[in-house]
Structure formats: C-alpha cells, structure tokens
Amino acid sequence: MTAQHDGGATARVALVTGGSRGIGRAIVGALIEVGWLVAFTYRENLAAAQDVEAAHPERARAFRLDLADRAMPDVVVRDVAASMGPVAALVNNAGVRRDALLAMTSDADWDAVVETNASGAFRCCRAVLPGMISRRQGVIVNVASLSALSGVAGQAAYSASKAAIIGLTRSLARELGKRQIRANAVVPGFVLTDMTTDISPAALQTLRAKECLPAGVTTADVANLVACLLSDRAAAITGQVIAVDAGSSV
C-alpha cells in the first residue's frame, strides 16, 4: 500500500483506533470516501478487521492494538508510518464499558475502563505528536460520550474516562495550536452498535427520551462529523466539544 491518490498526489494517512466495528468502522469508511488512507486498529476480532480491509482494498489497513499494553501505541504508529506514511490525523475512538453501580465497581473494572479509554487515548496522542510537531501539521479527534457531560447511573467509570478525554482535548488544543495542530472532541448521543446491544428496552427508551430529532443518531452521523473536523473546512476549529446527539443535550 502506498500513500498515493489515483492521480498521483500524496494521500494523507489517518489512524483510527477501534475501527473494525460500530462508530469506528463508519469513520474509516467516511474518511476513505473523502480521500484519506486509513490505518485502523482492532483488539481481538481479526475477522471483522479483515472485512473492513476487504471493503476498502488498497485504502484501509488493520493493525492490532491492545490499549492496555502501554508500549503498543508507539509500536503501531511506527508501523503505520513505515508501511503507509506519517500519521497526519488521529481519531481516538476505541473504548470499553464495565457498567455497575459505583458501590459495586471493582478496582479491576475501574482500572480496565480508565486505562483503555483515557490512558489509551493519552498514549496514542503522545505517540503521534512528535511527528506532527516536527511537520507543524496535524489534527486529533477524540470520541467522548454524553455520559461525560450529564452522567449515567451505573457508568461512573465510563463517564469519568470520557470526561478525562474532554479535558485532554482542551489541554492539547492549548498546547499545540501554535504548531498548527488542532484537537477536538466529538460527543455522540445514543448510537446502536455492538457495544450497546445489551441495553434493555426500558433503558433505551430513557436514553432516547430527550432526543429532539425522531431519527436519532447513526454511526454515519458521527463519522461525517469526524470527517469534517479532519478536513480543511474545520481549519479554525480547535478545543471544541461537539455533540452529535439528535438534540438530546439541549
């Protein structure tokens, strides 16, 4: 795979974590549609990752990444640069949930969620930044959650990890703006994906009760916003936390 458009111009490379399913898979497709080469990561499901590669031949490549392994983000970024080109954009999308009331949350579950969602995003940012800073160009989009803004009973660990991502995003925007690097956070509303199929009908009704738009939010809605934020059309946007939630946070 080479970083070339059909016309011969150099194509930019985006790295999307958790790109083999759900919102991440939609982001991979949306970025390819507007001309990016996309490196995406998966943790366990190789078959799903291969499906994404097959759907986008010569445009998408899978890399295994377990965010609980602190050394792996640096390794993946080096492998992407060697095989596809330097990472011009990072989308931190990968995440896990371990839902339980706080009084029933174990240290192991808390650590797993915070280590993957918040610390994993931090390490991926740290891995791509030396190259972005040297080139004085780059863009980062971090995928947060409405539970970071309003809280959800039973999701204290998840909410805390996603709130940390918002703080990380705003600090990055302050640190990196003078080097022409932008950082923003996207806050999806309820989106039906593999991660949310275990939600009960009653909980689903509660989650969607505040939506202003009856169609709700799809993976494509989130992916289109991410693609816009990575584009030159968003050249003056940084440090922002943007909800795509069918109006539920109004």
Active site annotation includes 158: yes
- Using only the alpha carbons of the chain, give its radius of gyration: 17
Active-site residue (options: 19, 158, 172, 217): 158
CA dist., res. 63 & res. 58, Å (int)? 14
What is the average pLDDT value for the chain, to the nearest integer? Answer: 93
Percent of the chain whose predicted confidence (pLDDT) is above 90: 84
Q: How many CB atoms lie within 10 A of CB 14?
A: 28
> Band of the pLDDT at 5, cuts 50, 70, 90?
very low
SS3 state at 60? strand
Strand 13-16 to strand 181-188: parallel, antiparallel, or no bridges (unpaired)? unpaired
Q: What is the pLDDT of residues 9-35, one digit of tens each?
A: 568 999 999 999 999 999 999 999 999
Q: Is the distance from CB of 30 to CB of 55 less than 8 angstroms?
A: no
Query: Does the global pTM surpass 0.85?
Result: yes
Find all residues with CB under 8 Å of 87, minimum gap 6, and list them: 13, 14, 15, 39, 77, 80, 81, 128, 131, 132, 138
For residue 166, pLDDT over 80 is answered with yes
- Report all structural domains of the chain as residue ranges with CATH numbers, in order of start: 13-244 (3.40.50.720)
CA dist., res. 152 & res. 158, Å (int)? 9
